Each structure stands twice: as structure tokens, then as C-alpha cells.
């Protein structure tokens, strides 16, 4: 009976489990970006000619980031915040999708990442006075309540420990104006609306990912090839966390991908209290 129960549980959770992060906190990630980003080498020998992280992971995230920036909320938002701006690719797409009257605030806990953002936009002739850069913590943003029409975040919530994830979502809710929107991109375990064959494939991909990610089992391999870097994001059920917020309503979601792994894009609205 115990064996049968184990198999039943395994079948139910296969590819849908949310494993805990292998690192301590978001501060430890920021410190890692500060140091490794300046000395990244491949195989500890060959200098990486591309910006740190943008070459390693950002390339694979671009499909979902391009897919995310759609909807009328982009056109009508006057004050936009991009939280966890990272290397600047999504910020660049956001700049292209908006007009000169719209203000954008790029936020990251890592100064290295903000510097990468500025460098990326400068390279593409997109640095303008309407884009502001702020080193800040997603769990305690330095703006008043009801400050932004649109909150955008890509691959931030799926790298946060659960407690920090909930804190960051409450901050998102706080700084959004009533009737303001958020566009959130995360690796996902929420696959119920997909065709059965796609569900099987993505559950298998998630399970393989989590086997390596859990407790940092694959980190020695990653760190050997990438001078100490190892992935921090993992698949989560963000929709379940969003349901726990008092003034956030789901508008719609859609599925994209990062490499072979499933990603969900959430479009949510802040309601009136």
C-alpha cells in the first residue's frame, strides 16, 4: 500500500512541484552578480566577450520577454516600473513599445545589473531622460502607494524564496494605482490549460530541471563552465500566490517558453479597495 501511495503521489506531483531555492536570499544573488559579472570566463580560461548573464541566460529568455509586452495597458500607462531589470533586454523592448510621454523606472538590487542595463540601452541608442535607474529592493520599493500605472517583471518572482516572493507581491500591489496593471513572467508549474501532449512534455522538462536545481545538485557543473554562476530561477505556481492578494485580479495569462521549459505570462489588474 505504501508503494502504491508513493507512486500515486509521484504521478500527481511529477513536473508540478515547487522546490525551495538552493541559496539563502536575494541579497546573495545580488552579491554574486556584483563579483562574477566582472570576471566571467568560460571553462575558467576563455573570457566571455558578452555581458554577464545576458549571454548565458538572457538569450534564452528573449522569446517570452518579447511575447509579454502586448496589450492596451502599455499604451495608456504614464508611469511604468520594471522591477528586476536585469541586463536590460526587457527594458529595451519596453522603451520601444512606449512613447516619449511615458516615464519608465528600471529597478534592480544589483548595481552591476543596473550598469548592464545602461550599457545595453546606450549600445542601442535608447538612453533617454524618461528612463530612470534606481537601485532598490523589490520587497521594499522607495515609492509611495499608488505610484505606477504598470508594473513589469520578468524572471524575478521565480528566483525569490517563498517569504520574499510574498513580500514582493505585496509591494507590487501597494505601488500600483487602482486599475493599474502588472505583467509578470515566470517559469511555471501551472500547465492545466495546455493540450495533454504539451503538458506531458513540459512536466518532464520541469522535473528534469528540478532534479538538478534542488539543493544545488548541478551547481558544481555550472560553476565549472561559468566561473561560479548557477541558475537561481525555478518553476513556481505564481497564480496561486496572486490569488492570495486582496486587490489583485487576474485579467488573463498565456504560456511561452524559456529554452525547453514552460513559462507563464500573467496580466493582472489592481482593483479598487
Q: Quote the percentage of the chain above a pLDDT of 70.
A: 85
pLDDT at residue 45, as a whole number: 57
Q: What are phi and psi of 4, to 5 degrees?
A: -65, -40
Higher per-residue confidence, 245 vs 27: 245
Q: Is the pLDDT of residue 5 over 70?
A: no
pLDDT for residue 30:
76
Could you tell me if 181 and 251 are in contact, meaning their C-beta atoms sit under 8 angstroms apart?
A: yes
Give residue 199's pLDDT. 95
CA 17 – CA 27 distance, rounded (Å): 25
Task: Give residue 14's region: left, alpha or beta (phi > 0; psi -120 to 50).
Answer: beta
> What does the alpha-carbon distance between residue 225 and residue 36 come to, in Å, rounded to a whole number?
13
Query: Average pLDDT over the chain, rounded to whole?
Result: 88
Domain assignment present for 14: no
Strand-pair category, 41-42 with 46-47: antiparallel
Least confident interval from 84-93, 150-159, 161-170, 203-212 = 84-93
Alpha-carbon gap, residue 182 to 111, rounded angstroms: 24
C-alpha cell recorded at residue 103: 516615464
> Phi, psi (5° rounding) for residue 42?
-95, 135
Burial of 224 (0-12, 13-18, 19+ CB in 10 A): exposed
137 located within any domain: yes
Instruction: Classify residue 85: in a domain, yes or no.
Output: yes
If phi > 0 it is left, if psi is from -120 to 50 it is alpha, else beta; for residue 249 that is: beta
Tell me whether residue 16 is in a domain.
no
> Into how many domains does the chain fold?
1
**What are the tens digits of pLDDT across the range 162-202?**
999 999 999 999 999 999 999 999 999 999 999 999 999 99
Is 18 within a domain? no
* Residue 166: CATH number of its domain: 3.40.50.150
What predicted TM-score, i.e. pTM, was given to this entire model?
0.91
Host domain of residue 32 = 23-270
pLDDT tens-digit map of 117-141: 898 899 999 999 999 999 999 999 9
Three-state SS for the chain is CHHHHHHHHHHHHCCCCCCCCCCCCHHHHHHHHHHHCCCCEECCCEECCCCCCHHHHHHHHHHHHHHHCCCHHHHHCCEEEEECCCCCHHHHHHHHHCCCCCEEEEEECCHHHHHHHHHHHHHCCCCCCCEEEEECECCECCCCCCCEEEEEEECCHHHCCHHHHHHHHHHHHHHEEEEEEEEEEEEECCCCCCCHHHHHHHHHHHHHHHHHHHHHCCHHHHHHHCCCCCCCCCCECHHHHHCCCCCEEEEEEEEEEECCEEEEEEEEEECCC
The answer as to whether 13 is a domain residue is: no
**pLDDT above 70: residue 34:** no
Q: With bands split at pLDDT 50, 70 and 90, how would you rate the model's confidence at 263?
A: very high
Amino acid at each position: 500500500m505504501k508503494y502504491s501511495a508513493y507512486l500515486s503521489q509521484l504521478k500527481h506531483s511529477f513536473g508540478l512541484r515547487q522546490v525551495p531555492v538552493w541559496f539563502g536570499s536575494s541579497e546573495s544573488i545580488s552579491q554574486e552578480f556584483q563579483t562574477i559579472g566582472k570576471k566571467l570566463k568560460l571553462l575558467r580560461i576563455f573570457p566571455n566577450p558578452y555581458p554577464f548573464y545576458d549571454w548565458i541566460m538572457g538569450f534564452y529568455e528573449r522569446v517570452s520577454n518579447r511575447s509579454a509586452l502586448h496589450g492596451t495597458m502599455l499604451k495608456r500607462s504614464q508611469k511604468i516600473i520594471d522591477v528586476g531589470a536585469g541586463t536590460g533586454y526587457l527594458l529595451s523592448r519596453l522603451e520601444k513599445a512606449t512613447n516619449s510621454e511615458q516615464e519608465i523606472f528600471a529597478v534592480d538590487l544589483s548595481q552591476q545589473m543596473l550598469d548592464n542595463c545602461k550599457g545595453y540601452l546606450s549600445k542601442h541608442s535608447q538612453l533617454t531622460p524618461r528612463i530612470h535607474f534606481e537601485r532598490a529592493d523589490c520587497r521594499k520599493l522607495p515609492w509611495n502607494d499608488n505610484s505606477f500605472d504598470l508594473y513589469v517583471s520578468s524572471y524575478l518572482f521565480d528566483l525569490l524564496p517563498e517569504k520574499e516572493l510574498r513580500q514582493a507581491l505585496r509591494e507590487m500591489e501597494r505601488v500600483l494605482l487602482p486599475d493599474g496593471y502588472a505583467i509578470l513572467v515566470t517559469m511555471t508549474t501551472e500547465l492545466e490549460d495546455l493540450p495533454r501532449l504539451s503538458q506531458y512534455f513540459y512536466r518532464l522538462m520541469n522535473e528534469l530541471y528540478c532534479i538538478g536545481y534542488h539543493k544545488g545538485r548541478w551547481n558544481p557543473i555550472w560553476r565549472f563552465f561559468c566561473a561560479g554562476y548557477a541558475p537561481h530561477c525555478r518553476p513556481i505556481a505564481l497564480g496561486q500566490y496572486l490569488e492570495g492578494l486582496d486587490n489583485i485580479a487576474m485579467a488573463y495569462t498565456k504560456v511561452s517558453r524559456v529554452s525547453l521549459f514552460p513559462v507563464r505570462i500573467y496580466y493582472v489588474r489592481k482593483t479598487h479597495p
